[in-house]
Amino acid sequence: MIEAFLSRKVIRTPADLELAIEMRVYVVAKHYGISIKEVHEMSPQQFAQSFAWAMVGRKEEEKAQKRANQSSGSGDRETVSLDYDFLNTEDF
């Protein structure tokens, strides 16, 4: 059931919605090292902010891991990461 939900990427049923919420609860609990019960006790505002920061942290960890993997395979060459986020701004 969970594998099917993860492969769909679309919430179609109430059960899918419940799984999506629980997945986000797990992400917050894992990121902050707290229990799922503690996450459930958060206010909706606290949960939304905690989830947002957990996702940012996860993306930064993925970037760092990618850089580490690239540099470990490059020998003496230096790896320089380029950040193109400025292209997403309205002023550009």
pLDDT reading at 8 higher than 70: yes
Give how many domains the chain has, as a whole number: 1
Q: How confident is the model at residue 13 (pLDDT cuts 50, 70, 90)?
A: confident
What's the whole-model pTM score?
0.64
Over residues 10-30, the mean pLDDT reads 91
* pLDDT of 17 over the 70 cut: yes
Domain presence at residue 29: yes
Residue 78 lies in a domain: no
Q: What is the C-alpha R_g of the chain?
A: 18
Does the residue 75 lie in any domain? no
pLDDT tens-digit readout, 32-88:
999 999 999 999 999 999 999 999 998 998 898 888 888 776 555 666 777 877 777
Does residue 15 sit within a domain? yes
> Range of 22's domain?
1-56
Q: Is 81 within the bounds of a domain?
A: no
pLDDT at 31 over 80: yes
Confirm whether 62 is domain-assigned.
Answer: no
pLDDT for the residue 74: 55
Neighbouring residues of 35: CB distance < 8 A, sequence distance ≥ 6: 29
